């Protein structure tokens, strides 16, 4: 049980010290003050915005790419299916740093071909995060789709609906919790990523974790703690959302954390 306390413990000083009345960062905090919150430097808000946008776009695109892909992996029966699955899940196997470097190198070479730099652009970030996040969608949605009773579709078909209508009105609504939690996992993986994103940001396009990462090298002032507390709240909200829709989904968690 003490383990559970341990797990939450680093979060405690961050939250508590953000209310500190003093200027230095210590825990337990001295005094109580809310003054750090209104004074969060603008660049943190900016990078929070960037992070949210990129993570949101990632979640959306992961749905568009990942839902069909999961269907293809679960239901299809064609040679090379294992290869496709291995390829689509492979980003999980490569250390994030290495993935970041791979993307950085690729984007850099790409700037000569297309007259646009993907490095330090929202597009580049989103593409990379989509690729890194797709395995989460597939591993979350896969079991859900496998458990889906195809009989429901057969009933709809026998009543005269065509393929597309069946999927739209029967299948998708039933598996939607799986889609939603897969999208949420992709969102979180994009929002919280540091190691890979570190190589893909620029001073104009900076994500919040990277901003905090750099801030840690220099100095931790309580305003960083304030924005971090907000992030913790955001993460708690996402957890709440996922569990409201799906209950304790263990398989997806294991895949996500690995």
Partner 1 sequence: MRWGLLFIPAMVVFGIFYLIPLIMFVLSSFHPDLGLGRSGATYTIENFRHLFTDRFYLLVLWNTAKLSFYIVIISLILGFPVAYFLARSSQKVMRVLIPILVLSSFVTLVIRAMGWVVLLGNNGLVNKTLLLLGAISDPIQLLNHPRGVVLGMVHYVLPLMILAIMSVIQTIPRSLEQAAENLGASRLHVYTRVIFPLSFNGILATSLMVFSLNMGVFASPLLLGGGKVYVFPILIYQEIMAKTHYAMGAAMALALILLVLFINILSFAIGSKYQAPRRRAW
Of positions 9, 23, 82, 162, contacts partner 1 by CB under 8 A: 9
| 128 touches partner 1 by CB under 8 A | yes
Positions in 13-32 near partner 1 (CB under 8 A) = 13-14, 17, 25-28
| Stretch touching partner 1 by CB under 8 A, among 30-38, 52-60, 173-181, 188-196 | 188-196
**Residue pair 66/137 in contact by the 8 Å Cβ criterion:** yes
| 160 touches partner 1 by CB under 8 A | no
Of positions 121, 171, 192, 246, contacts partner 1 by CB under 8 A: 192
| 191 touches partner 1 by CB under 8 A | yes
Of positions 59, 183, 186, 208, contacts partner 1 by CB under 8 A: 208
Which of 223, 161, 231 shows the shortest CA–CA distance to 192? Answer: 231
* DSSP H or E segment with residue 80: none
Of positions 19, 188, 200, 204, contacts partner 1 by CB under 8 A: 188
**Residue pair 255/181 in contact by the 8 Å Cβ criterion:** no
**Rg (the chain; Cα; Å):** 21
Alpha carbon separation from 90 to 76, 85, 96, 132, 196 (Å, rounded): 20, 8, 12, 9, 15
| Stretch touching partner 1 by CB under 8 A, among 30-38, 52-60, 65-73, 169-177 | 65-73
Of positions 195, 221, 245, 246, contacts partner 1 by CB under 8 A: 195
Q: What is the DSSP letter of 76?
A: -
Q: Report the Cα 184 to chain-centroid distance in Å.
A: 6
Q: How far is the CB of 38 from partner 1 (least distance, A)?
A: 20
**What is the rounded CA–CA span in Å between residue 55 and residue 239?**
15
Positions in 135-154 near partner 1 (CB under 8 A) = none
* Residues near partner 1 (CB under 8 A), total: 83
Exposure of 191 in the CB half-sphere (CA atoms within 13 A): 19
SS3 state of residue 170: helix
Q: Which CB, 33 or 253, lies closer to partner 1?
A: 253
**Residue pair 11/228 in contact by the 8 Å Cβ criterion:** no
Q: Report the Cα 83 to chain-centroid distance in Å.
A: 25
| 81 touches partner 1 by CB under 8 A | yes
Positions in 83-102 near partner 1 (CB under 8 A) = 84, 87-88, 90-91, 93-98, 101-102
| 238 touches partner 1 by CB under 8 A | yes
| 112 touches partner 1 by CB under 8 A | no
């Amino acid at each position: 049980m003490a383990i559970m306390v341990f797990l939450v413990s680093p979060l405690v000083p961050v939250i508590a010290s953000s209310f500190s009345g003093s200027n230095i960062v210590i825990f337990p905090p001295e005094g109580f003050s809310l003054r750090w919150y209104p004074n969060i430097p603008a660049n943190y808000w900016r990078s929070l915005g960037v992070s949210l946008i990129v993570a949101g776009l990632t979640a959306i695109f992961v749905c568009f790419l990942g839902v069909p892909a999961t269907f293809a992996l679960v239901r299809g029966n064609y040679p090379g299916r294992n290869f496709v699955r291995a390829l689509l899940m492979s980003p999980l196997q490569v250390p994030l740093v290495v993935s970041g470097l791979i993307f950085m190198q690729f984007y850099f070479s790409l700037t000569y071909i297309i007259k646009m730099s993907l490095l330090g652009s929202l597009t580049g970030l989103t593409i990379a995060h989509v690729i890194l996040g797709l395995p989460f969608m597939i591993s979350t949605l896969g079991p859900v789709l496998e458990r889906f009773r195809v009989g429901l579709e057969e009933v709809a078909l026998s009543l005269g609906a065509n393929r597309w209508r069946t999927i739209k009105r029967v299948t998708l609504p039933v598996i939607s919790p799986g889609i939603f939690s897969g999208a949420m996992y992709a969102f979180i993986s994009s929002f919280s990523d540091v190691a890979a994103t570190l190589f893909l940001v620029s001073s104009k396009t900076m994500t919040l974790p990277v901003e905090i990462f750099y801030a840690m090298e220099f100095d931790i002032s309580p305003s960083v703690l304030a924005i971090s507390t907000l992030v913790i709240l955001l993460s708690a909200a996402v957890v709440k959302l996922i569990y409201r829709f799906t209950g304790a989904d263990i398989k997806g968690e294991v895949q996500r954390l690995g």
